[in-house]
A and B are shown apart, each in its own frame.
Chain A
Amino acid sequence: MSALTNLSMIEAADAVKRGEVTSVALVEACLARIAAHGGQVNAVIRLDKAEALEAAAAVDKARASGAVLGPLAGVPMMHKDMYYRAGKVSSCGSRIRKDFRPKLTATVLRRLDDAGAVDMGTLNMAEFAQNPTGHNVHFGDCHNPWNLPYCTGGSSSGSGAGVAARFFYAALGSDTGGSIRLPATICGVTGIKGTQTRVSRAGAMPLSFTMDNVGPLTRTARDAARFLRVTAGADPRDPTSSNEPVPNYEAALTGDIRGLRIAVPQQYFFDGADDIVVRAFDRALDVLKARGATVERVSAPSLRAVAAYVALCSRVEAAAIHANWMREHAADYSILLSARLFGGYAVPGHLYVEAQSRRGPLLRQFCAEALDRFDLVATPTLRTRVPTLAETDVDADATNWQRCMAVSANTRPFNYLGLPTASVPCGFDDRGLPIGLQLAGRPFAEARVLSAADAYQRDTDWHARVPAL
């Protein structure tokens, strides 16, 4: 494998800026890696080779002319196939939208373009971003590069698998119930969803307008910090986006977490957890403690209500926006997705309103329980070992339903609570599949979340390991 593809996103960007490598060389290295292993992993939906090489050459020319380069200049990326680029097909991982060509470009893509990133194409994903395993009957399942018969996590399956497989340096995912953090943990990479409203959703395929988040999957927390800074911030095209200033997240990554207080909720997150996951989680906390953090178990009874209400919100919102297709083209969906959408129509409207109305009070209650005396909440990202594609395949066997849906149990609550939450690799199970540590902070405390994640990665090398494809 080319040493170039093993660089982190920031190492690659900085190498281009210093003239140590050309962007064209980075793109060519990534294309070679995809050519060699893309078929095994099936992370890619569309590869724009010529355009990527052209964009990379433009970066190299700009550098040679002395132009000031953007913070991501020359870095090859690919993105979940649900971020609209004017005139390009955005399939949303579906048959229904296989020929959809939007007329507008997503704000996050524009911001990445402005930062100099090189967009090489689009990535596999769960159909309409709606399953936690990454299954896709239309484009073929994406395979876990650590162990191919195992699922990648979803819905941002190609983003997680591709970053792990060193096909590119970073990718956009989206996260409505864990769709960034699950493929991050299951593929052994780093992912963060910001505070609800932190990143513009303009030009991103909608799923749940109250819980959708846009965010990165990267190799390191530092990469995620730079990526998030480039993409976050108010956007007139998305009236729900926050006006909260965007700090320099990278500057917060000092490695100094002395005095950091971490809460571990006793309820919910460890129900039915596998021992090997709990042991890896405890060892991860030990690493943070060795750097000066304190860890305390806390009681958070609000989680019971959070878990009940989160089960309603995205389901109902997705059911509403898919209703026309469910009436007229239900057979064009996978079995899994049409089954999942169907349940959303059974929820009475007053319960949906109740779930939304209780969201603010429950956020306040959870913060009082778990964050008033603490800076972060820590949990395993996935409480069990990674399942295989076969044992979570609902299209093949409807009785796999519960096993499939259980995958997102530990990530969903943070979407309802709207808190910034990251996942970093913290070990491997006995089948060679990664395990993830989930860290959540108070609203708009992305810097603190990333600071702890970065500190953890200074003392561990899980994030630097490369799958043997």
Chain B
Amino acid sequence: MPPEFADKLKQSIRDWSGVECPNEAAEVGLSDFPGLLKELAALRGTLVFEDEPSSFDAALQAEKEPAR
């Protein structure tokens, strides 16, 4: 992970949340992010305008096992 990328994330966290990077492991943890960003970029465009979190409860009901 480029150091400038981690620095930007840390600055953003500081600005938005007031939380400081606590230790080296936290920096190592941020190294997950480039891979995650790539995966999320591949999913761009899949969210439909009407999608919303409440659809999950409806899906749980809709996908119940049919009675046998």
Give A contacts to B, CB under 8 Å: 195-197, 210, 242, 304-305, 307-309, 311-312, 319, 323, 326-327, 330-331, 333, 335-336, 338-340, 342-343, 345-346, 351, 353-354, 356-361, 363-364, 367, 371, 375, 394-395, 398-399, 401-402, 405, 418, 441-445, 448
How far is A304 from B38 in the complex, measured between Cα atoms in Å? 12
How far is A307 from B43 in the complex, measured between Cα atoms in Å? 11
Chain A residues contacting B21 (CB-CB under 8 Å) are 342
Chain A residues contacting B57 (CB-CB under 8 Å) are 197, 360
Q: A442 — nearest CB in chain B belongs to which residue?
A: B65
How far is A260 from B6 in the complex, measured between Cα atoms in Å? 49
Evaluate whether A360 and B56 lie within 8 angstroms (CB atoms) in the complex, with A311-B36, A441-B65 already known: yes
A-B contact list, 7 entries, CB within 8 Å: A312-B36, A326-B19, A327-B18, A346-B13, A358-B46, A360-B59, A361-B48
Within 8 Å by CB of A342, from B16, B29, B61, B62, lies B29
Which chain B residues in 12-68 approach chain A with CB under 8 Å?
A: 12-13, 16-33, 36, 39-40, 42-43, 46-48, 51-65
Within 8 Å by CB of A351, from B24, B27, B40, B48, lies B40
Chain A residues contacting B24 (CB-CB under 8 Å) are 398
Contact in complex: B55, A342 (CB < 8 Å): no
Chain B residues contacting A312 (CB-CB under 8 Å) are 36
Q: B13 — nearest CB in chain A belongs to which residue?
A: A345
Evaluate whether A363 and B59 lie within 8 angstroms (CB atoms) in the complex, with A327-B18, A345-B19 already known: yes
Evaluate whether A364 and B59 lie within 8 angstroms (CB atoms) in the complex, with A335-B23, A339-B23 already known: yes
Within 8 Å by CB of B25, from A319, A394, A441, lies A394
Evaluate whether A398 and B60 lie within 8 angstroms (CB atoms) in the complex, with A323-B17, A342-B19 already known: no
Evaluate whether A367 and B19 lie within 8 angstroms (CB atoms) in the complex, with A308-B40, A343-B32, A359-B53 already known: no
How far is A342 from B26 in the complex, measured between Cα atoms in Å? 6
Chain B residues contacting A371 (CB-CB under 8 Å) are 63
Q: B23 — nearest CB in chain A belongs to which residue?
A: A335
Contact in complex: A343, B60 (CB < 8 Å): no
Contact in complex: A448, B65 (CB < 8 Å): yes
What total of A-B pairs shows CB separation below 8 Å? Answer: 145
Chain B residues contacting A401 (CB-CB under 8 Å) are 25, 28-29, 31
Contact in complex: A363, B60 (CB < 8 Å): yes
Contact in complex: B60, A195 (CB < 8 Å): yes
A339 to chain B, nearest CB (A): 4
How far is A327 from B18 in the complex, measured between Cα atoms in Å? 6
Chain A residues contacting B62 (CB-CB under 8 Å) are 364
Chain A residues contacting B51 (CB-CB under 8 Å) are 357-358, 360-361
Contact in complex: B25, A398 (CB < 8 Å): yes
How far is A402 from B64 in the complex, measured between Cα atoms in Å? 35
Chain B residues contacting A309 (CB-CB under 8 Å) are 43
Evaluate whether A364 and B60 lie within 8 angstroms (CB atoms) in the complex, with A339-B28, A394-B25 already known: no
How far is A441 from B66 in the complex, measured between Cα atoms in Å? 12
Within 8 Å by CB of B16, from A338, A339, A345, lies A345
Q: A397 — nearest CB in chain B belongs to which residue?
A: B25
How far is A338 from B61 in the complex, measured between Cα atoms in Å? 37
A33 to chain B, nearest CB (A): 36
Contact in complex: A442, B64 (CB < 8 Å): yes
Residue among B21, B27, B29, B39 having the largest count of chain A Cβ atoms under 10 Å:
B29
Chain A residues contacting B12 (CB-CB under 8 Å) are 346
How far is A353 from B18 in the complex, measured between Cα atoms in Å? 22
A238 to chain B, nearest CB (A): 14
A342 to chain B, nearest CB (A): 4
Within 8 Å by CB of A360, from B22, B29, B55, B64, lies B55
Contact in complex: A364, B32 (CB < 8 Å): no
Contact in complex: B13, A342 (CB < 8 Å): yes
How far is A364 from B63 in the complex, measured between Cα atoms in Å? 7
Contact in complex: B56, A339 (CB < 8 Å): no
Contact in complex: A307, B60 (CB < 8 Å): no
Evaluate whether A356 and B53 lie within 8 angstroms (CB atoms) in the complex, with A339-B29, A346-B9 already known: yes
Q: Which 5 A-B pairs have the closest CB atoms?
A: A360-B55, A339-B25, A360-B59, A339-B26, A356-B53
Contact in complex: A444, B32 (CB < 8 Å): no
Chain B residues contacting A308 (CB-CB under 8 Å) are 36, 39-40, 42-43
Contact in complex: A360, B33 (CB < 8 Å): no
Contact in complex: B22, A339 (CB < 8 Å): yes
Chain B residues contacting A442 (CB-CB under 8 Å) are 63-65
A16 to chain B, nearest CB (A): 34
Chain B residues contacting A307 (CB-CB under 8 Å) are 39
How far is A231 from B51 in the complex, measured between Cα atoms in Å? 33
Q: In the complex, given contacts A304-B39, A346-B33, A361-B48, what are 16 additional A-B residue pairs having Cβ atoms less than 8 angstroms apart? A: A311-B32, A335-B22, A338-B22, A339-B28, A343-B30, A345-B17, A345-B19, A346-B9, A358-B51, A359-B53, A360-B59, A364-B59, A364-B63, A395-B25, A399-B28, A444-B65
